[in-house]
Amino acid sequence: MEENFTAKKQLIDTYGFTETDFEQINNHGVSLSTIIEQITIFNHGISSIVLDRPAKIDDGILKLNQEEFEKLASYFDANKSNLKIKKFVPASGAATRMFKFLNEFLNEFDHENESINAYINRKKDKNLPVFLAGIEKFPFYEKVKSKLKEIYPEYYSLESHEKSYRFIKTMLTHPEFNFGEKPKASLDFHKYQSHIATPIEEHLNECAYYASSNAVSNLHFTISENHRHLFENIIHEVKDKVEQKSNTKTEINFSYQDKSTDTIAVNLDNQPFRSENNELLFRPGGHGALINNLNQLDSDVIFIKNVDNVIQNHIAEISLYKKALAGKLIEIQSQIYAYLNAIDSNQVTEKELTDIVAFMDKKLNIKLYEGFDKYTFDNKLQSIKNKLNRPIRVCGMVINEGEPGGGPFWVISPKGNISLQIVESSQIDLENKNQLELLRASTHFNPVDLVCSIKNYQGEKFDLTQFIDHNAGFIVTKNRNGKEVKSYELPGLWNGAMAKWITVFVEVPLITFNPVKTVNDLLKPAHQPQYEN
């Protein structure tokens, strides 16, 4: 109570907060101390991550041959019957960025006075020609064209450029489509002979292949509450079909990003930003907020995958690598549990302690504190227990082909400790030539391909919020009605939110990584029909 009073007084004295502000904060579920912490972050900035070196094959990234992948997948299949398995898919994001270049076209194209070719030349737009050349290959082409013929009876007599313009406008603005505003998960991604599938359906398909045991699969979507009906409608349409085809029952549930994880926005002077109604502005805390959603799950093995990383063909092949990662997870987990139980029952000798330290170094990439050799035997065991009694993540890594996003690195903490982390370029001081060179020397990329263990060796759930690096958040600048505002994003779900987890990186084939970041990605082979298969 006293702490709350002190925080309230500080917000009144320093920032002029009113009782109306405190009521808004309370309704949002955010603590006053959190507000102060976030404003302090804006004032002091966030320290950049310090890279030691990029993780590479045999230096932080495990490379397996095909036989090893198959053995691990079989190991998972042989041991999964007693496990609670779930697939976790962050799916609340709208498809706005997917259609960004098309929205720009609608906003900036001078429809009355220029041709589309003139626009392309004027804007040096490389994406629009690709879209138009492949327009008939998009899974939504027939639906949009059918609506166009309904709206414009003269459609077939129109000039080619006019057809293209009306197609794009209808696709993005007609209420029946409105693709840029809908969740990416609900869009048409894949055209099959019998139907068109959304990412929601494809995740159900995948879930049955690898995130299942005893003929039951479990799938969890994080969604926006106002889009729940879209998800439920699609699931209602496809669930029975997927279950019959896979002979697997699928349990599906949802969660929302907690409003209490929203963060306060400030202006460029680091003063709390106020709207036209003089209200404080809160913004979603980014995907790092989903660590709270993950924390609510009660599962032994959790697969995490981005909503747009689905494939139309080769699902069985993809599943092999997913199951192999899970096999590696439970193999590691089994050994960790055995060591921790041995420590608890006082059954560890000096020789066994040496074996544990070697396992931590060689298999888990865990570097013990400097001076560990000088600890007493009991203190060594306690230090080992502290390092091993943590959540575990096994992360697939693909060869870097220039995709934007995070990568695997050895990172130096402020205390000088070195650990494996997934790092975004925005976390690095790019003005530092040494750090920039290390970033450019990275050989692998994080496709968000994780398999996680969130329970300890006694079967109890970890409190995942205890393993976050709270200094690994992001400050981003956004535009709000023409005004620049600064927003704080929480440490990313697979970045700072999992910074203190046991981390193992495994190279997986590029076939496992098929993101749809722009609509043109749907023209790639992984998203095009192969009916002969």
Whether residue 49 sits in one domain with residue 159: no
Q: How far apart are CA 271 and CA 268, in angstroms?
A: 7
Reply yes or no on whether the pLDDT at 404 is more than 80: no
Q: How far apart are CA 492 and CA 294, in angstroms?
A: 13
User: What are the φ and ψ backbone dihedral angles of 52, each rounded to 5 degrees?
Assistant: -90, -45
Whether residue 409 sits in one domain with residue 366: yes
Whether residue 355 sits in one domain with residue 316: yes
Residues 293, 260: contact at Cβ < 8 Å? no
Nearest Cα neighbor of 365 from 323, 304, 410 is 410
Q: So what's the pLDDT on residue 10?
A: 86
- Mapped onto helix, strand or coil, the DSSP state of residue 350 is helix
User: What are the φ and ψ backbone dihedral angles of 414, each rounded to 5 degrees?
Assistant: -55, -25
Which alpha helices (H) appear in 45-198, and where do they start and end? Answer: 66-79, 100-108, 116-123, 127-133, 141-151, 160-173
pLDDT tens string 258-299? 888 999 999 999 999 998 889 999 998 889 999 999 999 999
- Mapped onto helix, strand or coil, the DSSP state of residue 277 is coil
Q: How far apart are CA 493 and CA 471, in angstroms?
A: 14
SS3 content of the chain, % helix, strand, coil (to 5): 45, 20, 35
Residues 291, 500: contact at Cβ < 8 Å? no
Q: Which has the minimum average pLDDT: 239-243, 245-249, 401-405, 407-411? A: 401-405
The pair of three-digit structure tokens given for residue 318, joined into one six-digit string: 């993809």
Over residues 331-338, mean pLDDT: 97
Whether residue 285 sits in one domain with residue 147: no
- 530 in any annotated domain: no
Residues 220, 200: contact at Cβ < 8 Å? no
Higher pLDDT, 431 or 478: 431
Amino acid type, 320: L
Q: So what's the pLDDT on residue 99?
A: 96
Reply yes or no on whether the pLDDT at 533 is more than 60: no
Instruction: For residue 370, give Cα distances in angstroms to 50, 59, 339, 400, 409.
Output: 19, 20, 22, 33, 20
Over residues 71-88, mean pLDDT: 97
Burial of 462 per CB tally in 10 Å (0-12, 13-18, 19+)? middle
Q: Please count the residues of the chain.
A: 533
Whether residue 88 sits in one domain with residue 102: no
Q: So what's the pLDDT on residue 60?
A: 96
List b or e across 211-220, with b for residues whose CB sees 16 or more CB atoms inside 10 angstroms. Answer: bbbeeebbbb
Over residues 245-261, mean pLDDT: 94
Q: Which residues pair with 254 in a beta bridge?
A: 221
- 525 in any annotated domain: no
Q: Which has the minimum average pLDDT: 280-289, 386-395, 461-470? A: 280-289
- Cβ atoms within 10 Å of 339's Cβ, excluding its own: 23
Reply yes or no on whether the pLDDT at 157 is more than 90: no
Nearest Cα neighbor of 453 from 372, 375, 394 is 394
Confidence of residue 314 (pLDDT cuts 50, 70, 90): confident
Q: pTM of the entire structure?
A: 0.93
CATH no. for residue 450?
Answer: 3.90.550
Burial of 314 per CB tally in 10 Å (0-12, 13-18, 19+)? middle
Whether residue 476 sits in one domain with residue 435: yes
Whether residue 326 sits in one domain with residue 225: yes
Residues 376, 352: contact at Cβ < 8 Å? no
Overall domain count for the chain: 3
Please name the residue that has the structure tokens 């979603």: 284
User: What are the φ and ψ backbone dihedral angles of 478, each rounded to 5 degrees?
Assistant: -125, 170
- 299 in any annotated domain: yes
Reply yes or no on whether the pLDDT at 532 is more than 80: no
- 192 in any annotated domain: no
Whether residue 362 sits in one domain with residue 279: yes
Reply yes or no on whether the pLDDT at 383 is more than 90: yes
Which alpha helices (H) appear in 261-349, and where do they start and end? Answer: 291-295, 315-344
pLDDT tens string 192-215? 999 999 999 999 999 999 999 999
Contacts (Cβ under 8 Å, ≥6 apart) of 258:
29, 289, 292, 293
Higher pLDDT, 479 or 25: 25
Confidence of residue 337 (pLDDT cuts 50, 70, 90): very high
Whether residue 71 sits in one domain with residue 6: no
Residues 215, 249: contact at Cβ < 8 Å? yes
Reply yes or no on whether the pLDDT at 401 is more than 90: no
- 478 in any annotated domain: yes
Residues 526, 313: contact at Cβ < 8 Å? yes
Over residues 322-330, mean pLDDT: 98
Taking every pair of Cα atoms in the chain, the longest distance, rounded to a whole number of angstroms, is 87
- 190 in any annotated domain: no
pLDDT tens string 480-498? 877 889 999 999 999 999 9
Question: What percent of the chain is modeled with pLDDT above 70?
Answer: 98
What's the mean pLDDT when you consider all of the chain?
A: 92
- 343 in any annotated domain: yes
Whether residue 374 sits in one domain with residue 489: yes
- 197 in any annotated domain: no
Q: How far apart are CA 201 and CA 239, in angstroms?
A: 8
Q: What is the DSSP letter of 454?
A: -
Higher pLDDT, 416 or 55: 55
Q: How far apart are CA 158 and CA 170, in angstroms?
A: 15
Whether residue 166 sits in one domain with residue 134: yes
Whether residue 242 sits in one domain with residue 376: yes
The whole domain housing 147 covers 97-181
- Mapped onto helix, strand or coil, the DSSP state of residue 263 is strand
